[in-house]
Amino acid sequence: MNSFMNTPAGFELKNGKMVNVQPIEAMFNPSFIVRSFHVITTAGMTMAFVIASIAAFKLLRNRQPKDTVYHKKALKMSMIVGFFSTLLSMLAGDLSAKFLHKFQPEKLAAYEWHFDTSSHAKLLLLVC
């Protein structure tokens, strides 16, 4: 839905009514790939770190050797998946920002806390 709101496609407005509706074009609009990539990578990252936190908790709570082997493997695997998902989500964020720069520069400026128009605006890391 957010993808459609950012780059609406697949219909025409005539006299205030939607005509010539094409659902497939509306679903697969210009921002679909970037947004979907971002959602999938961040979902994978979240899933991996939730599993890692459960494995770490169980590792701390259980002292039986057979259980700790399982939880150590789960922790290691989930941290590896989380690491690579984090790298991919950083790439997805960069692609999203580049997409916004092309299609919605005003939104990108608001994300970066620039509310006054200027050329060569400075990068703001912390805004207090």
**In this predicted model, what pLDDT tens digit does every residue of 29-82 receive, in sequence order?**
888 889 899 999 999 999 999 999 999 999 999 878 887 899 999 999 999 999
Inside any domain, residue 105: yes
User: Domain span at residue 55?
Assistant: 31-111
Indicate the SS3 state at residue 113: coil
Residue 5 clears pLDDT 80, i.e. is over it: no
**In this predicted model, what pLDDT tens digit does every residue of 82-118 receive, in sequence order?**
999 999 999 999 999 898 888 888 888 888 877 787 7
Indicate the SS3 state at residue 85: helix
User: What average pLDDT does the chain have?
Assistant: 86
Inside any domain, residue 88: yes
Q: Take residue 32 and report the two structure tokens written for it.
A: 């679909």
Inside any domain, residue 65: yes
d(CA 70, CA 46): 21
- Sign for the pseudo-dihedral over CA of 82, 33, 117, 110: negative
Inside any domain, residue 17: no
| Number of other residues whose CB lies within 10 A of the CB of residue 99 | 19
